[in-house]
């Protein structure tokens, strides 16, 4: 039950103390990466220091996936991860988008097997919506950036 400390619904529960908030947000960054940061690291050239794993079905993979990603559906992680991934290399998982927790399930499965892992927020949906190149079974593709999701003039300034 929520005990209201204010008439303002945003403040019904008081904000955390600054030190608690800093710890929470620092921890969040240890578990998540966003689409723009992943794209920037992959496009910088050279070894990005991580591998990207698409945890979706083959049908979804064929419709579009991040170039260079490893296709490893969540259900196959226990039997195939050790053959496809190096435990010394961090993994960034993704699935369809914010309405899907497949990347979270894949990240959990990989972490339980001893991999260091982050989840890519936004998934493939936001990868495509932000106008980044992708691959399909038919070749490469790219959509125009959605002005509601893509940074203005290429950088959001976050």
Q: For the residues of 109-121, what is the DSSP string, one character each?
A: HHHHTT--EEEEE
Residue 46, φ and ψ in degrees, nearest 5: 80, -165
CA torsion angle 110 112 118 120 (round to 10): 60
Band (pLDDT 50/70/90 cuts) for residue 143 is very high
User: What topology is assigned to 33-150 in CATH?
Assistant: Oxidized Rhodanese; domain 1 (3.40.250)
Identify the sign of the CA torsion 54, 98, 87, 36.
Answer: positive
Q: How far apart are CA 154 and CA 30, in angstroms?
A: 25
Beta-sheet pairing, 134-136 with 139-141: antiparallel
pLDDT at 18: 97
The string of pLDDT tens digits covering residues 81-138 is 999 999 999 999 999 999 999 999 999 999 999 999 999 999 999 999 999 999 999 9
- Reading the block at residue 81, the tokens are 């991860």
Largest CA distance in the chain: 57
Q: How far apart are CA 40 and CA 18, in angstroms?
A: 30
- 146-154's contacts with Cβ under 8 Å and 24+ in sequence apart are 151/36
Question: CB count, 10 Å around CB of 140?
Answer: 10
Q: How far apart are CA 49 and CA 114, in angstroms?
A: 17
The string of pLDDT tens digits covering residues 29-81 is 999 999 999 999 999 989 999 999 999 999 999 999 999 999 999 999 999 99
- Reading the block at residue 95, the tokens are 């699935």
């Amino acid at each position: 039950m929520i005990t209201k400390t204010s008439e303002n619904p945003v403040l019904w529960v008081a904000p955390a103390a600054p030190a608690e908030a800093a710890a929470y947000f620092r921890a969040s960054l240890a578990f998540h990466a966003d689409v723009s940061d992943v794209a920037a690291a992959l496009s910088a050239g050279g070894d990005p220091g991580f591998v990207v794993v698409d945890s979706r079905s083959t049908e979804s993979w064929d419709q579009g996936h991040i170039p260079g990603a490893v296709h490893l559906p969540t259900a196959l992680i226990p039997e195939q991860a050790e053959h496809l991934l190096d435990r010394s290399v961090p993994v960034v998982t993704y699935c369809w988008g914010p309405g899907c927790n497949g990347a979270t399930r894949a990240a959990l499965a990989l972490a339980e097997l001893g991999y260091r892992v982050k989840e890519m927020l936004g998934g493939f949906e936001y990868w495509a919506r932000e106008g980044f190149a992708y691959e399909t079974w038919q070749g490469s593709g790219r959509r125009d950036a959605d002005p509601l999701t893509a940074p203005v003039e290429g950088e959001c300034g976050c």
